[in-house]
Amino acid sequence: MTLTIPSGLQLVWSDEFDGDHVDDSKWSMHHGGGGFGNRELQYYRPQSAVVADGVLKITARCDDRHGFTSAKLQTKHKADWGPGHRVEVRARAPKGKGTWPAIWMLPTESSYGSWPRSGEIDIMEAVGCTAKKVFGTVHTDAYNHMKHTEKSNAARTEVDAWHTYTIDWTEKEIAWYLDGQLFHSFRPDSYEYQKWPYNRNFYLILNVAVGGSWGGICIHERPSCHRWDEFGQPQVMEVDYARVYKL
């Protein structure tokens, strides 16, 4: 299935990254570390995200003080959306071992309880330990990686090339597209919150995590700061735009 062109859709929110800094009217910047439930190694700081030449760059690197630094942007309490929307992000991701870039969404309010009860939508995740694959996933109370029941699929691609990552989110289904081509969909067999908490608003997140339980699965969770295919060089996710349309 091919995604319909957005010309007939109403654009309700976007960031084209045309300025010279991250727009704090649209994004909040996370500051701090702590593992984030996955034994991740990065310390998030605002200066690891810059905007220049129409592109957002999130840079993860080795750091003498913090071990690893990176950035995490989110629209929480600034913009959120629910069913009836298309979320689209054009980006290219790093591919070094130990990287874990993601474009994803979390609920603005924990209406059904703490994670994963209120849901998570992973529009795109990639891990350098799993070469040439991007993943689309949902996590709910019934379907999550802690129970090994998460609803996920992968598409093969060069993750460090420019791609457009899209979800179409309706009252009954979420569908994932890579460059306009459907590669995953989620439609449960019933709609109690344990399977479908997606009748609430969610906010958008862009980040690059480092190491941890999935990002570092092939390198004992901690990447080298010297190997060229790990963190011997900075690992950068670039984002051309983020857009939300009303379906």
Q: In angstroms, how far is CA 50 from the centroid of its own chain?
A: 18
How many residues can be counted in the chain? Answer: 247
Q: How far is CA 118 from CA 91, 141, 233, in A?
A: 27, 8, 37
3-state DSSP assignment of residue 47: helix
| Nearest to 244, CA basis, from 105, 87, 82, 91 | 87
Residue 72 in contact with residue 29, Cβ under 8 Å? yes
| Residues catalogued as catalytic | 120, 125
Structure tokens at 20: 């010279």
CA distance 150 to 130: 18
Q: How far is CA 112 from CA 57, 197, 198, 214, in A?
A: 34, 7, 11, 26
3-state DSSP assignment of residue 236: strand
CA distance 143 to 184: 15
| Nearest to 3, CA basis, from 84, 86, 125 | 86
